[in-house]
Amino acid sequence: MVEREVIRRIIIEGQEFVNEISLTERPFFFEQKGNYVFVGIRQAGKSYLLYQRIQQLLREEHNINEIVYINFDDERLRQMTADDLDLILQAYHSLFDLRPLLFFDEIQNIEGWEHFARRLANQKYNIYITGSNAKMLSREIATTLGGRFWNKDVYPYSFAEYLNARNIILSKNWMYGKQAAEVSKAFNDYFLYGGFPELTDVIAKRVWLNDIYSKIFFSDLIVRNKVRNEEALGLLVRRLAENVKQPISYTRLANLISSIGIKISKATVIEFIRYLKESCLIFPIENYAAKFAERNSNMKHYFIDNGLLSIFLLDGNTSLLENIVAIHLYKRYGAQLYFYNQNIEVDFIIPEAKTAIQVSYSLMDETTCRREVEGLIKLNRVFPMDNMCIITRDEERIITHESGVSIHVIPVWKWLLEEEPLRT
């Protein structure tokens, strides 16, 4: 059991910390009386959204003494259980005669936290919660919370946010002037190292990425899930990275790992991939052409940030390009995003938006260009599309097919800025 005096100290330290922090605000609209659960991979910026909301509330004439910010990664709370959570309110009210605004960071460390959160919501407290485990958005927890919270996924920076964090404010017609070189250099970094907010000011970026992956691997995967076959899980992550552009079955993954002498069953692969998804490290997309019962057995798996993928690849430009497009589309469309593979291969399809997208690093090779275009044209005959494009690294033009269909070829950096995901 954690002593009340320790919690008092943590409350005061939290007030001092959030009152002084400097941050770059992200484009997020908070409902005035909304309670929120923010979920995403470690270092995606969930805590910054808490700080951002705190500073907004302070500007709205709330008092710093109303703020209760608790980070449950604090080693002083390591022994805390759900039964101890009420001590937070007791400790606060022993310090202040006010109604607190509650900010709980990484609360997934406390098993059963959702019952405490629901009770507070029932009592009309204003609560903001973060966690690094997608299980926090599961049906069971959502049922316990009883619809009293807004559940929001948080991702590392988009390219537009990344430019803003680097104080690159795009002028009108920027791509025709000197600013184009500045944006190009920024995109090269974003493409290779990803969009983790904290990484923006780090010089040794690859060292930082390896460090954050190690924390995710050991804390969010091995320890949290009590994994015994650590080597097999590590190899699974590597094999997913190496095959990021291809649909791959659970059986194939099990065989790839077992072929080097580390035995693993298909059932264990399925379990491990669930852990990877719950840690927000990867996300899957299904084959739209597959029968419904088969869609979960042969999926593509992408990494939630290009920086994390890049640490596994030696010459990964084509994989990084497709991955960055997948991230952008997944943030916008979620489960509505598919690939198509049945006699026709198309990298991404959003049926509800009647949009199909191919990804190709370059179309300078005539054979490559013909293959990418024909895939879209064949799909269009089966499922008529309103929008079809091919995303490249740097090339741009309009391809008009002999059938009269037009396909827009667009460089990825321009597409990312034009197709900024909608924010809520």
pLDDT in tens, 12-36: 999 999 988 888 889 999 998 899 9
Q: Are residues 79 and 171 in the same domain?
A: no
Confidence class of residue 365 from pLDDT cuts 50, 70 and 90?
very high
Q: Which of 134-138, 289-293, 329-333 has the highest mean pLDDT?
A: 329-333
- Give the pairing of strands 248-249 and 150-153: unpaired
Q: Is 1 helix (H, G, I), strand (E, B) or coil?
A: coil
In a domain, 174, yes or no: yes
Q: Cβ atoms within 10 A of the Cβ of 125, count?
A: 16
At residue 177, the pLDDT reads 84
Q: Are residues 245 and 278 in the same domain?
A: yes
Confidence class of residue 352 from pLDDT cuts 50, 70 and 90?
very high
Q: Are residues 168 and 234 in the same domain?
A: no
> How confident is the prediction for the chain on average, in pLDDT?
92
Q: Which of 308-312, 400-404, 418-422 has the highest mean pLDDT?
A: 308-312
Measure CA 400 to chain center: 36
In a domain, 68, yes or no: yes
The boundaries of the domain holding residue 249 are: 204-284+292-314
% of the chain surpassing 90 pLDDT: 79
At residue 338, the pLDDT reads 97
- pLDDT of 62 higher than 90: yes
In a domain, 323, yes or no: no
Q: Are residues 168 and 231 in the same domain?
A: no
At residue 145, the pLDDT reads 84
Q: Please report the DSSP string for 278-298 in residue order.
A: HTTSEEEEEETTS-GGGTTTE
- pLDDT of 285 higher than 70: yes
Q: Are residues 93 and 224 in the same domain?
A: no
In a domain, 84, yes or no: yes
In a domain, 331, yes or no: no
Q: Are residues 9 and 62 in the same domain?
A: yes
- pLDDT of 234 higher than 90: yes
Q: Are residues 111 and 168 in the same domain?
A: no
Q: Which residue has the higher pLDDT, 296 or 92?
A: 92
- pLDDT of 421 higher than 70: no
| Two structure tokens written together for 6 | 């320790």
At residue 134, the pLDDT reads 81
Q: Are residues 143 and 222 in the same domain?
A: no
Q: What is the pLDDT of residues 137-160, one digit of tens each?
A: 776 677 788 788 998 999 999 999
C-alpha 101/C-alpha 163 separation (Å) is 32
- pLDDT of 230 higher than 50: yes
Q: Please report the DSSP string for 199-261 in residue order.
A: GGG-SSHHHHHHHHHHHIIIIIIIIHHT-S-HHHHHHHHHHHHHTTTS-EEHHHHHHHHHTTT
C-alpha 112/C-alpha 5 separation (Å) is 23
At residue 296, the pLDDT reads 77
Q: Which residue has the higher pLDDT, 173 or 105?
A: 105
Q: Are residues 21 and 145 in the same domain?
A: yes
Q: Are residues 212 and 169 in the same domain?
A: no
| Two structure tokens written together for 182 | 């500045």
Q: Are residues 143 and 24 in the same domain?
A: yes
Mean predicted confidence (pLDDT) in 66-95: 94
At residue 233, the pLDDT reads 97
Question: What CATH number is attached to the domain comprising 117?
Answer: 3.40.50.300
Tally the domains of the chain.
4
Residue 94 exposure: Cα atoms within 13 Å on the Cβ side? 14
Residue 27 exposure: Cα atoms within 13 Å on the Cβ side? 13
Question: What CATH number is attached to the domain comprising 241?
Answer: 1.10.10.10
Q: Please report the DSSP string for 366-414 in residue order.
A: HHHHHHHHHHHHHHHHHS--SEEEEEESS--EEEE-TTS-EEEEEEHHH
At residue 420, the pLDDT reads 59
In a domain, 96, yes or no: yes
Q: Are residues 96 and 14 in the same domain?
A: yes
C-alpha 59/C-alpha 189 separation (Å) is 34
In a domain, 196, yes or no: no
Helix axes 266-278, 250-258, angle to 10 degrees: 110
In a domain, 214, yes or no: yes
- pLDDT of 398 higher than 60: yes
- pLDDT of 283 higher than 80: yes
